[in-house]
């Protein structure tokens, strides 16, 4: 306690200062010019682990020898020497902490302010580490993005493009300046641009994910189909930042789909008709521009020549070249590198991806030909032979004229697929044509032959009748077998005559010369008449013919043809009737006359039933039953010409029933 009494001055005493400095959250140390410690605050005592009593008056360097060689020592000495304030920060291993020291010169020496800045340093370090990591991850992302096999992009919240990966620039040839903002749309096909832009901007307003397809121009000027899928970018609080999207080249996929559709459409067209020139013509039209900008077909002719049957070109400006190209068909000799000639010669598909002037010079077989090819100005060509059943029929050639269009191996495969189908169609057409020709020849022959064969039968039959009459006057005992032999001969001539009639009818039906002579006919009388003509045969076979016909049933029909129907059905019933009874029934149903011929004979197998009304179809073996298989075919033709129907019901070994239904008045077409 001071004897002069309590200190009442407003100036704080050194002790009060010291107490104040003890309260601060950092170290305060004072040294005199001889580096003797004159003040150490409580914070510093804690840090140094030494008390004020131990330190005051002692030399700094002696007490803390390691300080002299530390960075702090240098700084303190500089501050003392130069009389300037120096601030320094360093890590102190012994404290495992960062300290900041401010050395301020004072009147008596130096005052050192020391702060533990470990927290701040760590926070700064953390920030730096985080930044480094971010930079590193961004570099990694960019590297990844640039090497990804797709084009990637990013927009800001306004929809402006702010980043695109290297793939985009490599593919489109755009620069960063060109692509940014909405500049990327310049690389989109003009026909797709408005649609793509609209979807893009609408999605941006709605902030929804989207997908769009468009064609994108490559740096070579070629447009390729791409699919662009985008998702909104959101920050951690869900705030919309823009979009991130990827653009994938789906050109091959799309072309594949188009090719498939094209080939299936072509197949449909090819199977539509058997006229092969018309079919080829339509296929060629289909192939342009799907498969090429120019398509032409050359067909080998019977005599060995080659005819350019069709040329189609997508560009009307090339009309003169289309017209003159008939002068430059494939050649058998010469034109060694001329693709259509070569493909035809070697029988294999060929492709020249780059058919520039060098190709044209090699391929040309005359100066005019060269000029012609140059005038068309194609850059790519492929030729595929038309081969069916090992036979070369011709060649189809495709040209790529459109700038940037080049044929690829997959184009060639599609062309081959098309050629395979086209060749089949050509072959079918030819076969059909040949078959038709053969049928015509046969019909003509049948007509002439049946006519010629029938001619001698009429006088022969007359002679037989006369002979039979003369034989009646001869004594039976001298010629016991004569009349039966003559009857047998008459039957055979009759049979031959019927067969000839059938053949003649067939040729009439085939040549469209089959006609009806309509008159009023009583079906019941007609049936009774026909049946009575069969009596001798029924008698001979030992069977029975039951005829059930009511009152007259009158209609307008062709009498002779109806007799023929009756004859055919009755003779079949007797022939296949196994000697058992045959029943004939006639009845009316409104405006329809019905006729049924039923037997109890061998019957018809179910699988044969549907075809017995066809030409030359038989359900029995030729060995057991003679016949041409024409009777029912002719019967059906007659019944249908009269506007009626014929139906057969049968069961094997049980018998058959044939039902004819005829309108009383035949349709107008019948006359």
Secondary structure (3-state) at 19: helix
Using Cβ positions, the residue closest to ligand ADP within the complex turns out to be 627
- Among candidate residues 346, 344, 350, the one with its CA nearest the CA of residue 383: 350
91-97: long-range contacts at Cβ-Cβ below 8 A with a sequence spacing of 24 or more? Answer: 91/121, 94/66, 95/47
Binding site for ligand ADP (CB under 6 A): 568, 572-573, 576, 599, 601-604, 612, 618-620, 627-633, 656
CB of 412 closer than 8 Å to CB of 451: no
Helix (H) or strand (E) holding 177: helix 176-179
Closer residue to ligand ADP, CB minimum distance, 217 or 598: 598
Closer residue to ligand ADP, CB minimum distance, 60 or 604: 604
The minimum distance between CB 541 and ligand ADP, in angstroms, equals 14
User: How far apart are the C-alpha atoms of 40 and 63, rounded to whole Å?
Assistant: 13
The minimum distance between CB 496 and ligand ADP, in angstroms, equals 14
Closer residue to ligand ADP, CB minimum distance, 543 or 603: 603
Closer residue to ligand ADP, CB minimum distance, 203 or 572: 572
The minimum distance between CB 575 and ligand ADP, in angstroms, equals 6
Helix (H) or strand (E) holding 162: strand 161-164
Closer residue to ligand ADP, CB minimum distance, 328 or 633: 633
The minimum distance between CB 609 and ligand ADP, in angstroms, equals 9
The minimum distance between CB 659 and ligand ADP, in angstroms, equals 12
- The backbone torsions φ and ψ at residue 489, rounded to the nearest 5 degrees and listed phi first, read -65, -40
Q: Provide Rg for the chain, Cα atoms.
A: 56
Closer residue to ligand ADP, CB minimum distance, 489 or 628: 628
Pairing of strands 294-300, 210-217: unpaired
The minimum distance between CB 577 and ligand ADP, in angstroms, equals 7
Q: CB-side exposure of 648: number of CA atoms within 13 Å?
A: 25
The minimum distance between CB 435 and ligand ADP, in angstroms, equals 23
User: How far apart are the C-alpha atoms of 111 and 26, rounded to whole Å?
Assistant: 13
- Among candidate residues 573, 583, 578, 569, the one with its CA nearest the CA of residue 631: 569
The minimum distance between CB 628 and ligand ADP, in angstroms, equals 5
Alpha-carbon distance values, 548 to 6, 585, 596 (Å): 163, 5, 10
Give the list of residues 6+ apart from residue 50 with CB closer than 8 angstroms, or none.
63
Closer residue to ligand ADP, CB minimum distance, 67 or 628: 628
User: How far apart are the C-alpha atoms of 654 and 263, rounded to whole Å?
Assistant: 54
CB of 90 closer than 8 Å to CB of 71: yes
The minimum distance between CB 481 and ligand ADP, in angstroms, equals 30
The minimum distance between CB 624 and ligand ADP, in angstroms, equals 10
User: How far apart are the C-alpha atoms of 517 and 515, rounded to whole Å?
Assistant: 7
- Among candidate residues 12, 45, 13, the one with its CA nearest the CA of residue 26: 45
Closer residue to ligand ADP, CB minimum distance, 216 or 545: 545
The minimum distance between CB 629 and ligand ADP, in angstroms, equals 4
The minimum distance between CB 460 and ligand ADP, in angstroms, equals 23
Closer residue to ligand ADP, CB minimum distance, 75 or 569: 569
Closer residue to ligand ADP, CB minimum distance, 30 or 660: 660
Secondary structure (3-state) at 97: strand
Closer residue to ligand ADP, CB minimum distance, 430 or 611: 611
The minimum distance between CB 529 and ligand ADP, in angstroms, equals 21
Structural tokens at position 149:
């096999």
Structural tokens at position 461:
């039959």
Closer residue to ligand ADP, CB minimum distance, 608 or 664: 608
Angle between helices 631-641 and 559-575 (to 10 degrees): 150
User: How far apart are the C-alpha atoms of 640 and 470, rounded to whole Å?
Assistant: 45
Residues 582, 587, 589, CA angle at the centre, nearest 5°? 140
Closer residue to ligand ADP, CB minimum distance, 397 or 572: 572
Sign of the four-CA dihedral 135, 141, 144, 147: negative
Length of the chain: 671
């Amino acid at each position: 306690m001071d004897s002069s009494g309590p200190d009442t001055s407003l100036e704080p005493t050194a002790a009060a200062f010291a107490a104040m400095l003890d309260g601060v959250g950092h170290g305060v140390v004072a040294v005199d010019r001889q580096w003797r410690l004159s003040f150490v605050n409580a914070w510093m005592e804690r840090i140094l682990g030494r008390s004020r009593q131990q330190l005051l008056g002692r030399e700094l360097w002696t007490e803390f020898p390691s300080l002299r060689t530390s960075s702090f020592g240098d700084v303190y000495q500089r501050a003392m020497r130069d009389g300037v304030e120096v601030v320094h920060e360093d890590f102190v291993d012994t404290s495992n902490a960062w300290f900041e020291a401010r050395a301020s010169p004072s009147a008596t020496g130096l005052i050192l302010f020391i702060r533990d800045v470990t927290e701040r340093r760590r926070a700064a370090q953390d920030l730096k580490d985080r930044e480094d990591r971010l930079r590193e991850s961004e570099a990694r992302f960019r590297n990844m993005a640039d090497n990804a096999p797709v084009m990637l992009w990013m927009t800001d919240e306004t929809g402006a493009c702010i980043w695109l990966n290297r793939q985009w620039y490599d593919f489109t040839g755009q620069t960063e300046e060109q692509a940014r903002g909405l500049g990327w749309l310049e690389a989109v096909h003009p026909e797709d641009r408005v649609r793509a832009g609209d979807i893009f901007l609408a999605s941006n307003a709605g902030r929804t994910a989207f997908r769009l397809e468009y064609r994108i121009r490559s740096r070579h000027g070629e447009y390729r189909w791409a699919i662009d899928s985008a998702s909104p970018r959101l920050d951690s609080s869900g705030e919309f930042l823009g979009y991130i999207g990827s653009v994938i080249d789906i050109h091959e996929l799309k072309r594949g789909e188009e090719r498939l559709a094209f080939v299936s459409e072509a197949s449909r067209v090819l199977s539509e008709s058997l006229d092969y020139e018309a079919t080829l013509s339509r296929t060629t039209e289909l192939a342009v521009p799907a498969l090429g900008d120019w398509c032409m077909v050359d067909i080998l002719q019977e005599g060995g020549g080659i005819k350019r049957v069709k040329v189609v070109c997508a560009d009307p400006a090339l009309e003169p070249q289309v017209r003159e190209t008939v002068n430059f068909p494939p050649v058998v000799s010469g034109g060694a590198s001329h693709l259509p000639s070569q493909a035809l010669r070697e029988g294999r598909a060929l492709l020249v991806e780059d058919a520039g002037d060098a190709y044209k010079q090699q391929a040309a077989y005359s100066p005019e030909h060269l000029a012609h090819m140059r005038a068309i100005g194609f850059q790519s060509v492929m030729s595929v032979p038309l081969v069916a059943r090992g036979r070369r029929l011709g060649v189809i050639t495709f040209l790529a004229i459109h700038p940037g269009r080049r044929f690829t191996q997959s184009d060639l495969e599609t062309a081959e697929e098309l050629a395979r189908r086209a060749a089949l169609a050509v072959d079918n057409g030819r076969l059909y044509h040949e078959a038709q020709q053969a049928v015509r020849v046969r019909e003509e022959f049948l007509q002439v032959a049946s006519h010629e064969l029938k001619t001698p039968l009429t006088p022969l039959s007359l002679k037989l009748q006369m002979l039979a009459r003369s034989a009646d006057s001869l004594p039976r005992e001298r010629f016991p077998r004569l009349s039966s032999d003559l009857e047998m001969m008459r039957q055979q001539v009759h049979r031959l005559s019927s067969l000839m009639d059938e053949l003649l009818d067939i040729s009439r039906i085939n040549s469209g010369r089959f006609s009806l002579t309509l008159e009023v006919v009583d079906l019941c009388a007609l049936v009774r008449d026909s049946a009575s003509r069969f009596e001798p045969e029924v008698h001979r076979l030992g069977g029975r013919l039951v005829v059930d016909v009511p009152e007259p049933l009158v209609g307008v029909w062709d009498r002779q043809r109806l007799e023929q129907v009756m004859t055919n059905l009755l003779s079949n019933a007797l022939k296949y009737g196994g000697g058992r009874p045959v029943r004939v029934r006639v009845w009316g149903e409104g405006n329809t006359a019905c006729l049924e011929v039923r037997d109890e004979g061998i019957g018809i197998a179910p699988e044969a039933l549907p075809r017995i009304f066809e030409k030359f179809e038989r359900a029995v073996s030729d060995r057991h039953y003679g016949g041409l298989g024409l009777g029912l075919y002719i019967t059906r033709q007659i019944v249908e010409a009269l506007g009626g129907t014929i139906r057969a019901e049968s069961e094997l070994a049980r018998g058959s029933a044939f039902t004819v239904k005829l309108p009383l008045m035949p349709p107008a077409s019948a006359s």
